[in-house]
Amino acid sequence: MKRIGCAKGMRRAAALALALVLTMPALPGMVAAQSGSNWASFVSVTDLTGNAPLQPSQPLIAGHAYNVTMKVTVPFTQNSSHFTATLGGVLLGYQGQLFWYVKTPHYPGYNASSSTPGSRTITFTQVAGTLVVSTIFQVPLSITLYTSMPQNFTRHITFSNLTLVSVSVTGGSPPTTAQVGQLSDSVEDQTIQTYLDTYQAKSTLISSGQIDPAYSSIVNGILAQAQALYLSGLPAQGTSLLQTLNPASFPAPPSTTTSTGLLVGIVVAAIVIILLAVMVVRGRGKRGFSEGIVAEVQKELALLEVTAAKYDKALADRLQALRNRLGEAD
């Protein structure tokens, strides 16, 4: 998930401003932002909570504070106009810090005496050149949490394209405003990141030789089920399921005389899937949502039945009985 510079709304607003210029030339000083332009760009992003710089591909973390340094490139001078940088509406202040810090005080459009760095919006005169500013804020902890009422069922969902800063130009007579820049990023929470890190590690167990390929159907089934839980907004449950993929639980493939190791793996996988399904059903939100989870679990149990049937018919029958009972429980 990469940071984006120019949003669709910005392009529409800028195009509208240009159209007004072309169709109403008699209005002096009309805002003339070019369609598709983006004055704002990232310079750096530092996680103040984690005390570490972020790479362009890294998302923000809910509850963390950040120092974002941005560059505003003003393409032309229009003394009758001014532009503003505004902090995203959901972002919070951080430990009494100012919102804005001007890094290039020599920029001709900056007036220190009239500047308002403690406000969410800071204003500059539109003068051609480059302005560099930093903004400090905190991301709300609850921004990735979605609760279904009245069951009070909470899910963790990545927040995509959160607006961090928008840049707008105002001028003309009568005054008009056009957005000419925007910085956005995605937001995850610690629960989501823990799942993604765990999934990345567990998905390589077979390719790295830590688990024998003979267990591919079991491992891939658990990975698929964990991913289904994650995509349903249940990353914590997905992580719990992934933790069952312990190489020590998957001994060398069985010979023609013994299948104990494989059967143990099948039983462990079945028990874990059943427990996760019960957990979800008991804490379910909407009925359609829980029925979808149960259907996925039943599908995984059916796959385990096929594997078990190759070694132990009684075990396969038992798995089928568990699958049927799960359907009755919902």
Low-confidence ranges of the chain (pLDDT < 70): 1-36, 149-151, 253-316, 318-319, 322-323, 325-330
Buried b (16+ CB within 10 A) or exposed e, 170-199: ebbeeebbbbbbbbbbbbbbebbebbbebb
Strand stretches in 120-236, DSSP E? 121-125, 129-138, 145-148, 153-156, 159-171, 176-188
How far apart are alpha carbons 77 and 245 in whole angstroms?
A: 62
pLDDT at residue number 276:
62
pLDDT at residue number 148:
74
Q: Which DSSP symbol is given to 143?
A: G
Q: Which DSSP symbol is given to 286?
A: S
How far apart are alpha carbons 124 and 121 in whole angstroms?
A: 10
Burial class (CB in 10 A: 0-12, 13-18, 19+), 33: buried
**Prediction pTM value:** 0.70
pLDDT at residue number 133:
98
Looking at the chain, the number of H-run helices and the number of E-run strands are 7, 12
Residue 217 CB neighbour total at 10 angstroms: 15
How far apart are alpha carbons 180 and 29 in whole angstroms?
A: 16
Whole-number Cα distances in Å, 208 to 157, 202, 203, 253, 314? 30, 10, 9, 16, 33
Strand stretches in 172-269, DSSP E? 176-188
pLDDT at residue number 316:
65
Nearest to 82 by CA among 122, 26, 48, 47: 122
Packing angle, helices 260-282 and 287-309, rounded to 10: 170
Protein fold of 8-188? Immunoglobulin-like (2.60.40)
Burial class (CB in 10 A: 0-12, 13-18, 19+), 148: middle
Domain with CATH 2.60.40 in the chain: 8-188
pLDDT at residue number 37:
79
pLDDT at residue number 248:
84
Contact 2, 57 (CB under 8 A): yes
Contact 182, 175 (CB under 8 A): no
